[in-house]
Amino acid sequence: MLFGALALVILIATAQLIPLYTDWLWFQEVGYSQVFLTMLSSRGWLFLIVSIGFLIFLYSNLTFAIRTAAPDVYWELEDQLGLPGWAVIEPLIRRFLPLAAAVIAFVAGLSAMVSWETVLQFVNAMPFGATDPLFGRDLGFFVFTLPFWRLVHGWAMALVLTTLVLMLVLSVLQRNLVITARRLRLTAGARTHLLLLGTLALLLKSVGFWLDRFEVVYSPRGVVFGASYSDVYASLPMLDALAVLALLCAGAFAVQIRWPGVRLVAGGVIVLVVAWVGGLGVYPALLQWFRVLPNELAAERPFIANTIRMTRQAYGLDRIEAHDFPATESLDRAALERNDATIKNIRLWDHRPLLRTFAQLQEIRTYYQFLDVDIDRYRLNGEYRQLMLSPREMAYDKLPSRIWINEHLTFTHGYGLVAGPVNRITPEGLPEFFVKDMPPAVTGGLPKITRPEIYYGETSNTYALVGTRSQELDYPAGDQNVYATYRGRGGISIATWARKVLFAARFGEKNLLLSNDLTADSRLMMYRAVGARLQQIAPFFSFDPDPYIVVTPAGRLVWLIDGYTTTDRYPYSEPARVPGVGNYLRNAVKATVDAYDGTVEFYIADPSDPLVRTYARAFPGLLKPLEQMPVDLRAHLRYPEGFFAIQARMYATYHMEDPQVFYNKEDLWALPRRTLEGRDRDMEPYYTIMRLPGEAKEEFILLTLFNPSRRDNMIAWLAARSDPPHYGRLVVYVFPKQKNIYGPRLIDARIDQDPIISQQLSLWNQRGSTVIRGSLLAIPIEQSFIYVQPLYLAAEQGALPELRRVTVVYGNQIAMEPTLEQALVKIFGGRAPAATASEATPTPAPLDLTGSVRALGQRALEIYNRAQQALRRGDWARYGAEQTQLEETLRALGTPP
């Protein structure tokens, strides 16, 4: 039995040590071994301190209890439980007591290890430089110090209560506590011991009540989050009283040691429980009911002001600059020409249909996939252009044969990307590509891609082996494949037999030991998904689920990922109600991952954030100043969409700074909602290049809109700036309240109600084709707004959406044309620019309307037949042009000679 237990312990330890050691090798590979050692040592010290503390306290108390003199034999004879005699039990207790104490201490140590981050934050805490409005303490006390002391208090309380329970069990087994027919009998030694433990538990409870005082700043009781009137004037005084009462009760336990009976103990416990229930349950409820609710605004006004101020600080809303936006209807052709860069960067490709089009045109093989479309900006041939990029990654679940060699040695990486401008289309209604095919064919001014291989991407398998005798597929070329050998520095060397054994055990893969393809130069790559890679190095940050890829001037592919610091311990701040966010959020970190060799770098994006400064102090060398990021990557930093969406949702409520307006929800905003794919959803923020009012040049911004609550007109728009030197600045533009500005839902309704557009959409939605309505974009231009919505056409039997029309709405005018330029000309006049190769729409030859009626009739029939052929092909541009010619021919027929 002992041998079996020992073997089990060795097996469990080995199962834990193998992943630990292989992770250590991986941390060495990525260059963050010190981070690994800091996290490991933090866990190790916590385990040792807590487990040793538990072991010493438990063993000393239980050993002392065993040595307490046993009662006389008559007590044992009167025992009603029918337990074995003390002579039988005592040897067993002495034998298994150390083991039981050790197991409890071991489990306590393991449970304490998960709190290493709380301890590390406490040790390396940096001040916030601001105080809470109730206690006047630095906010760092609530974020770093209070959680640590509550953790210590919880451990101490668990230790004392566990010891108390074990003492009761041991007293029963020893017959120090005997249940007889007449009464409960307890020896003097056991009584003293239990009273001392009770005294210690009540002292700890007194400390707990004192710590609970600071928790009122997180109270959800009032009209807003944080301490309310009832919390401050009822709960807080009662917690002070309960702390004192618990101390007095502890004193009663101590005095009871000298006095016989249990009256002081029973009286103290009863008074404490009654005060606890009444003081924290009944009294605050009565105060709320009779004092607060009859005049709630007057009572809660200062506390509402606290929540508004602290919530705005917690989400960075206090940094938003507010400006008026008149929303005039004074746009003309000259204004459009002044904002030509804005017009040229209006996004006509929605990422959902575009992803389907990319998949049909550029996945090349079934085992490649485009997971996402990223929007970024590049300066191409002196022009500031907004591009849509999508990396071509390996889809391991779609491999033609998922044998071990294919999945881990041959198909090791994705290859290249596709990229194109957001506003350009081909004559067939398809996106124009600046980067396409394999190997990448690059045009439009983008750098030549010298390292298209994607070994580290948004998705991956568990591991890949490079530097083997097996050929790695680089890319397919017609009927042949091009193979390559990895030349980067990524991966862990598995040259030795011992390492092969370790990784074979970790992944449960015998082929790592038996394969003849592995050489002395072979390396193993793991944690290849960029999100998991970053989370493994820095688990204390939250990372954006949507990394985006950048093409550097040197032709390498590099992932950029936003990292966040967050806590749920910011006083008075309302929680975001987003999983993992808490009630404080900062985009404090920018991270990069090289797609070829997996090199990882972390940079501090917000040095004012105390949380990121605390982690920088705890992990020296992990975080670099943002100024050390290569300039070519810094040019592609963008304000994160997820962070912006949370800020926008909070700002919809917390732009109201007056407590009375906030309480009455007089100026509550909401994000616009639209029906997409049959579901009603919040309108997503979107990137665009535009010139903000009062600025000299266009810049890359992230934009969202606001409606008044329960109304569909527009009240404001919020912009996040991404270009230096204004990166990270938020600006809100508020419309005049007396002016009715159509919101997105109303614009959708107007488009649907337009008779010409409605007729065209009905025609297109006939059997065999489907109209896909793209994102509705509101584009601010100077002091006005235009709405732009692309329309795509897709066959029901196919999945290749084609952009066929662009709808523009300005004021009361609506135009739907084949191109954006033509729609703008229809509304604002002027001449449409000459169509480039990418914008050309095929047009029939000019009509000769002279001749006889018979000739004109024949001509009309020919045009009608061509129109029907175009309709069957789904060529709506040709169909529209033929319909125009048919109308002209029929008019000629009706005109007298």
Indicate the range of 49-58, 115-124, 764-773, 847-856 predicted with least confidence: 847-856
DSSP 485-534: ---SS-SEE--SHHHHHHHHHHHT-THHHH-SS--TT-EEEE--BHHHHH
Q: What is the pLDDT of residues 384-405, one digit of tens each?
A: 999 999 999 999 999 988 999 9
Alpha-carbon distance 879 to 862, whole Å? Answer: 13
What confidence tier does 109 reach under pLDDT thresholds 50, 70, 90?
very high
Alpha-carbon distance 787 to 226, whole Å? Answer: 41
Buried b / exposed e over 47-66, threshold 16 CB at 10 Å, is beebbebbbebbbebbeebe
CA atoms within 13 A on the CB side of 754: 17
Q: Cα 511 to chain center, whole Å?
A: 37
Residue 107's φ and ψ, nearest 5 degrees, are: -65, -40
In this predicted structure, what is the pLDDT of residue 86?
Answer: 59
Look at residue 543 and tell me whether its pLDDT is greater than 90.
Answer: yes
What confidence tier does 767 reach under pLDDT thresholds 50, 70, 90?
low
Residue bearing tokens 């997971």? 371
Closest CA to 805 of 348, 353, 344: 348
DSSP letter (8 states) at residue 294: G
Q: How many CB atoms lie within 10 A of CB 13?
A: 10
Q: What is the pLDDT of residues 200-221, one digit of tens each?
A: 999 999 999 999 999 999 999 8
**Between 61 and 95, whose confidence is greater?**
61
Q: Are 356 and 712 in contact (CB under 8 A)?
A: no
In this predicted structure, what is the pLDDT of residue 274?
Answer: 95
What confidence tier does 852 reach under pLDDT thresholds 50, 70, 90?
low
The residues that bridge with 592 in the sheet, in sequence order, are 560, 601
What confidence tier does 871 reach under pLDDT thresholds 50, 70, 90?
low
Structure tokens that stand for 201 in this block: 């538990």
Alpha-carbon distance 406 to 395, whole Å? Answer: 12
Segment 861-873 shows an average pLDDT of: 68
Residue 630 corresponds to which amino acid?
Answer: P
Q: Are 729 and 701 in contact (CB under 8 A)?
A: no
Q: How many CB atoms lie within 10 A of CB 497?
A: 9
For the chain, the distance separating the N- and C-terminal CA atoms, rounded to the nearest angstrom, is 115
**Between 739 and 74, whose confidence is greater?**
739
Enclosing H/E stretch for 140 = helix 139-140
In the chain, what is the greatest distance between 2 CA atoms, to the nearest angstrom? 136
Q: How many CB atoms lie within 10 A of CB 777?
A: 20
Alpha-carbon distance 264 to 566, whole Å? Answer: 47
Whole-number percent of the chain with pLDDT over 70: 88
Structure tokens that stand for 710 in this block: 């329960």
Q: CB-based contacts of 471: which residues, under 8 Å, 6+ apart?
A: 410, 483, 485
Segment 290-307 shows an average pLDDT of: 94
In this predicted structure, what is the pLDDT of residue 622?
Answer: 96
DSSP 183-196: -EEE-HHHHHHHHH
Alpha-carbon distance 467 to 485, whole Å? Answer: 6
Q: Is the pTM of this model over 0.95?
A: no
Task: Using DSSP, state whether 702 is helix, strand or coil.
Answer: strand
Q: Are 233 and 286 in contact (CB under 8 A)?
A: no
Q: How many CB atoms lie within 10 A of CB 398?
A: 13
Q: CB-based contacts of 338: which residues, under 8 Å, 6+ apart?
A: 782
Q: What is the pLDDT of residues 342-367, one digit of tens each?
A: 999 999 998 888 998 999 899 889 89
Distance (Å) of CA 3 to CA 6, 7, 8, 14, 104: 5, 6, 9, 16, 21
Q: How many CB atoms lie within 10 A of CB 287?
A: 18
Whether omega before 630 lies within 30 degrees of 0, making that bond cis, reads: no
Residue 815's φ and ψ, nearest 5 degrees, are: -140, 135
Q: Are 455 and 598 in contact (CB under 8 A)?
A: yes
Q: What is the pLDDT of residues 436-480, one digit of tens each?
A: 999 999 999 999 999 999 999 999 888 999 999 999 999 998 778
Angle at alpha carbon of residue 847, lines to 837 and 874, rounded to 5°: 50
**Between 57 and 674, whose confidence is greater?**
57
Indicate the range of 254-263, 781-790, 843-852 predicted with least confidence: 843-852
Q: Are 363 and 390 in contact (CB under 8 A)?
A: no
Alpha-carbon distance 880 to 885, whole Å? Answer: 9
Residue bearing tokens 């002209």? 888
Alpha-carbon distance 597 to 600, whole Å? Answer: 9
In this predicted structure, what is the pLDDT of residue 48?
Answer: 96
Distance (Å) of CA 263 to CA 168, 185, 260, 679: 20, 16, 9, 67
Distance (Å) of CA 532 to CA 411, 539, 556, 589, 591: 20, 9, 21, 16, 13
Distance (Å) of CA 502 to CA 33, 513, 572, 681: 19, 10, 50, 49
Look at residue 89 and tell me whether its pLDDT is greater than 80.
Answer: no
Q: What is the mean pLDDT of the chain?
A: 88
Q: What is the pLDDT of residues 705-729, one digit of tens each?
A: 999 998 999 999 999 999 999 999 9
Q: Are 757 and 807 in contact (CB under 8 A)?
A: yes
E runs forming strands in 41-160: none
Segment 760-782 shows an average pLDDT of: 83
The residues that bridge with 674 in the sheet, in sequence order, are 681
Q: What is the pLDDT of residues 480-514, one digit of tens each?
A: 899 999 999 999 999 999 999 999 999 999 999 99
Closest CA to 551 of 645, 452, 649, 436: 452
Structure tokens that stand for 887 in this block: 């109308």
Beta strand 730-734 pairing with 321-324: parallel
Look at residue 602 and tell me whether its pLDDT is greater than 90.
Answer: yes
Residue bearing tokens 């072991």? 55
Task: Using DSSP, state whether 258 is helix, strand or coil.
Answer: coil
The residues that bridge with 473 in the sheet, in sequence order, are 483
In this predicted structure, what is the pLDDT of residue 390?
Answer: 96
Angle at alpha carbon of residue 794, lines to 788 and 800, rounded to 5°: 100
**Between 1 and 179, whose confidence is greater?**
179
Angle of helix 263-277 relative to helix 188-212, nearest 10 degrees, comes to 20
Alpha-carbon distance 300 to 307, whole Å? Answer: 11
In this predicted structure, what is the pLDDT of residue 168?
Answer: 86
The residues that bridge with 817 in the sheet, in sequence order, are 806
Residue 694 corresponds to which amino acid?
Answer: G
Closest CA to 357 of 373, 375, 340: 373
Segment 779-796 shows an average pLDDT of: 90
Q: Cα 319 to chain center, whole Å?
A: 22
Total residue length of the chain: 897
Alpha-carbon distance 568 to 733, whole Å? Answer: 30
Angle of helix 33-67 relative to helix 146-174, nearest 10 degrees, comes to 30
What confidence tier does 25 reach under pLDDT thresholds 50, 70, 90?
very high
Tell me the chain's radius of gyration from C-alpha atoms: 36
Task: Using DSSP, state whether 433 is helix, strand or coil.
Answer: coil
Structure tokens that stand for 606 in this block: 């917000």
In this predicted structure, what is the pLDDT of residue 846?
Answer: 41
DSSP letter (8 states) at residue 607: T
Beta strand 741-742 pairing with 769-773: unpaired
Beta strand 686-690 pairing with 679-682: unpaired
Enclosing H/E stretch for 53 = helix 33-67
Label each residue of 776-830 as H, E or C: CEEEEECCEEEEEEEEEEEECCCCCCEEEEEEEEECCEEEEECCHHHHHHHHHCC
Q: What is the pLDDT of residues 831-848, one digit of tens each?
A: 544 444 344 443 443 444
Enclosing H/E stretch for 706 = strand 699-708
Q: What is the pLDDT of residues 27-72, one digit of tens each?
A: 999 999 999 999 999 999 999 999 999 999 999 998 888 776 555 5
Residue 402 corresponds to which amino acid?
Answer: R
Indicate the range of 14-23, 245-254, 729-738 predicted with least confidence: 14-23
